[in-house]
């Protein structure tokens, strides 16, 4: 019903988050790292599993509450880590006047991101989109570097820091598309990505390698920052495939259609696995109830509409 990674160890380095249980849910707080730094932290994540909280992640604390409609625990509120400035100012001794606000330095913010995430200085983002995703009405830049989504903006965090999240991708997986759409209906757009993952599953005792495509949506504003929607929309093995169609995105809803199958029928389709934790399943074209499905935002999570 719920999965959240709360610790990692690598050699002598380790980090363990603090977990406490409340009447209606649970609280996770960033632990104190031993040996790990932002530069050496292993950022890879498993599909459907949130990474541990760290002193350098976007949030230092998260509280999850049970959602009967989604039948899982969803993020109720969070507290951010203090932003790390790309540059610092020093007030001379004896000068009690507050320093003037720093001008936005997006190049400096991206340099900070590259240093902390070990991104080569010359590396360009594979995908880029511009739109209002957070805070005031000013537009932000949403970028994908490798397996990391990053948001910067002239007025985002005062133009002095960034938000980033590790995508649930492994080496060799890929981001295929990035767009912005207001999925939750709050007037701010979500970052919507289509990704491709290589997945090996056991089918009748044999390992079968497949290519799976997923839609992932991340919100950057408010207390529920992070992934708010995930669904598998395509599965391929060789020249055989099930390909869903992505319909309307926005106004508090996501609509998916079962699309078509190539080389498979209801009788020959070999997979009967459950979707990863937190993902909606691939729609199968031979299932009448799955020809078109709409998922609606219910305030804390997306739920399948009747």
Cα–Cα–Cα angle for 40, 43, 49, rounded to 5 degrees: 145
The answer as to whether 95 is a domain residue is no
Closest to 184 (Cα-Cα) out of 143, 232, 140, 221: 221
Coil, strand or helix at 75: strand
| Rounded mean pLDDT for each run of 10 residues along the chain, 306 residues in total | 82 85 82 84 68 84 77 77 49 42 70 89 92 93 95 90 91 95 94 95 85 96 86 96 94 95 96 88 95 94 92
Does residue 280 share a domain with residue 159? no
In Å, how far are 48, 173, 294 from 213, measured between CA atoms?
14, 10, 18
Q: How many domains does the chain have?
A: 3
**For 250, which DSSP code?**
E
Does residue 217 share a domain with residue 115? no
The answer as to whether 13 is a domain residue is yes
What is the model's pTM?
0.70
Does residue 162 share a domain with residue 185? no
Does residue 279 share a domain with residue 189? yes
CB 101 within 8 A of CB 90: no
Does residue 260 share a domain with residue 192? yes
Does residue 221 share a domain with residue 282? yes
Reading the block at residue 203, the tokens are 């089918």
Does residue 157 share a domain with residue 141? yes
Cα–Cα–Cα angle for 121, 173, 151, rounded to 5 degrees: 45
Of 149, 166, 183, at which residue does a domain stop? 166
Reading the block at residue 250, the tokens are 């926005």
pLDDT of residue 46: 62
Phi-psi region of 278 (alpha: psi -120 to 50; beta: other; left: phi over 0): left
The answer as to whether 93 is a domain residue is no
Residue 140 belongs to what domain range?
83-87+101-166
CB 211 within 8 A of CB 196: yes
Q: Measured between alpha carbons, how far is 79 from 27 in angstroms, rounded to an integer? A: 11
pLDDT of residue 95: 42
pLDDT of residue 229: 96
Coil, strand or helix at 140: strand
Does residue 134 share a domain with residue 258? no
Does residue 161 share a domain with residue 44? no
Does residue 193 share a domain with residue 77? no
Q: Which residues are registered as beta bridge partners of 180?
A: 191
The answer as to whether 94 is a domain residue is no
Does residue 61 share a domain with residue 118? no
């Amino acid at each position: 019903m719920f999965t959240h990674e709360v610790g990692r160890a690598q050699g002598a380095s380790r980090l363990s988050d603090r977990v406490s249980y409340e009447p209606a849910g649970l609280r996770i707080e960033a632990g104190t790292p031993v040996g790990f730094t932002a530069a050496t932290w292993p950022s890879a994540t498993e599909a459907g599993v949130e990474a541990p909280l760290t002193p350098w992640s976007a949030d230092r604390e998260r509280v999850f509450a049970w959602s009967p409609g989604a039948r899982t625990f969803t993020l109720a509120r969070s507290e951010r880590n203090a932003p790390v400035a790309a540059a610092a100012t020093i007030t001379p001794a004896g000068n009690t006047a507050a320093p003037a606000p720093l001008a936005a330095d997006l190049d400096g913010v991206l340099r900070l991101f590259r240093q902390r995430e070990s991104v080569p200085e010359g590396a360009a983002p594979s995908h880029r989109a511009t739109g209002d995703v957070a805070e005031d009405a000013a537009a932000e830049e949403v970028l994908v570097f490798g397996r990391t989504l990053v948001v910067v903006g002239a007025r985002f965090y005062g133009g002095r820091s960034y938000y980033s999240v590790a995508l649930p991708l492994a080496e060799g997986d890929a981001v295929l598309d990035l767009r912005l759409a207001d999925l939750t209906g709050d007037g701010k757009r979500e970052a919507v990505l289509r990704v491709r993952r290589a997945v090996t599953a056991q089918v009748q005792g044999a390992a079968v390698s497949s290519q799976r495509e997923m839609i992932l949506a991340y919100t950057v504003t408010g207390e529920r920052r992070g992934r708010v929607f995930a669904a598998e929309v395509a599965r391929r093995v060789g020249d055989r495939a099930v390909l869903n169609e992505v319909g309307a995105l926005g106004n508090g809803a996501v609509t998916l259609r079962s699309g078509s199958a190539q080389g498979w029928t209801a009788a020959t389709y070999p997979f009967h696995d459950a979707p990863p934790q937190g993902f909606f399943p691939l729609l199968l074209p031979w299932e009448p109830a799955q020809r078109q499905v709409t998922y609606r935002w219910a305030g804390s999570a997306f739920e399948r509409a009747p």
